[in-house]
């Protein structure tokens, strides 16, 4: 059994914030035949299967900086270890639409990850979802708590579709295949133009016929 956790802040006010991309990710996975969301573990849970793997989706309702409370409670109930937990979260250090996988390490100042470190330790899996950086650290708080711009809607939708496509691979521990499913949505192969190029080739040279006449015959033909 695995626990997939999306990080974000509860309520409509925050629903489209960049900081809530983790919520958006698990919401998208929940569309793949999971149960309706219900309140539990200081958050909301949805249960289902990804191939043969039983997966519980969790959205903490404690606000970002207390996310670890909800996750810790769910882990104790299901008797899980950090290696059974995968967390989807926003990542300032990745360009918008980029995704990286990581296990363990520091929290890099992310309030949700800091809380998880405090409650369950650092050795959980992470799906780092790039949202880009505003350019200066003083603008970070306002940036992450602002909504995605309309111009970002296309890549965001493709990213979430890719996460849904690859969720089975993620649950199976096939990280590269999961990332490939996302890449196929975010950076699809360019279709062929359908225009056939016409290749013009030179006509093959024609060999000259050898003149077998005698000198007298050539002279005779010349003056005849």
Q: Is residue 199 part of a domain?
A: no
Is residue 210 in a domain?
A: no
pLDDT, tens digit (0-9, with 9 covering 90-100), for 149-205: 999 999 999 999 999 999 999 999 999 999 999 999 998 766 655 555 554 444 454
Question: Could you report the per-residue pLDDT of 76-119, keeping only the tens digit for each?
Answer: 999 999 999 999 999 999 999 999 999 999 998 999 999 999 99
Nearest in space to 63 (alpha carbons), one of 104, 13, 103: 13
Interatomic CA distance for residues 57 and 24, integer angstroms: 12
Catalytic residues: 19
By residue range, what is the domain housing residue 131?
A: 2-186
Contact present, 4 and 86 (Cβ < 8 Å) = yes
Domain-located, residue 192: no
Looking at residue 134, which CATH number applies to its domain?
A: 3.40.50.1470
Nearest Cα residue to 169 out of 83, 62, 86, 75:
86
Beta carbons within 8 Å of 147's beta carbon, 6+ residues apart: 16, 17, 18
Tokens of 53: 């793997």
Per-residue confidence band for 141, with pLDDT thresholds at 50, 70 and 90: very high
Q: What is the pTM of this model?
A: 0.84
Longest distance between any two alpha carbons in the chain, whole Å = 116
Q: Which two tokens stand for residue 166?
A: 């690859």
Q: Number of folded domains in the chain?
A: 1
Judge whether 110 lies within some domain: yes
Q: Measured between alpha carbons, how far is 107 from 27 in angstroms, rounded to an integer?
A: 23
């Amino acid at each position: 059994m695995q626990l997939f956790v999306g990080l974000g802040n509860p309520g409509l006010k925050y629903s489209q914030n960049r900081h809530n991309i983790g919520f958006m990710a698990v919401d998208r996975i929940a569309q793949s035949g999971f149960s309706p969301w219900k309140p539990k573990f200081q958050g909301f849970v949805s249960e289902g299967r990804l191939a043969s793997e039983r997966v519980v989706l969790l959205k903490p309702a404690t606000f970002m900086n207390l996310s670890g409370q909800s996750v810790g409670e769910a882990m104790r109930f299901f008797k899980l270890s950090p290696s059974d937990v995968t967390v989807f979260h926003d990542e300032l250090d990745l360009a918008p639409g980029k995704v990286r996988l990581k296990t363990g390490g520091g929290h890099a100042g992310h309030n949700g990850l800091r809380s998880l470190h405090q409650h369950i330790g650092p050795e959980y899996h992470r799906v780092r979802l790039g949202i880009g950086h505003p350019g200066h650290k003083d603008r970070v708080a306002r940036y992450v708590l602002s909504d995605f711009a309309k111009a970002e809607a296309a890549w965001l939708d493709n990213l979430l579709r890719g996460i849904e496509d690859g969720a089975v691979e993620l649950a199976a521990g096939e990280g590269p295949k999961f990332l490939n499913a996302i890449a196929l949505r975010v950076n699809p192969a360019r279709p062929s133009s359908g225009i056939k190029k016409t290749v013009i080739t030179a006509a093959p040279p024609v060999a000259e016929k050898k003149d077998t006449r005698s000198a007298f015959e050539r002279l005779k033909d010349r003056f005849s």
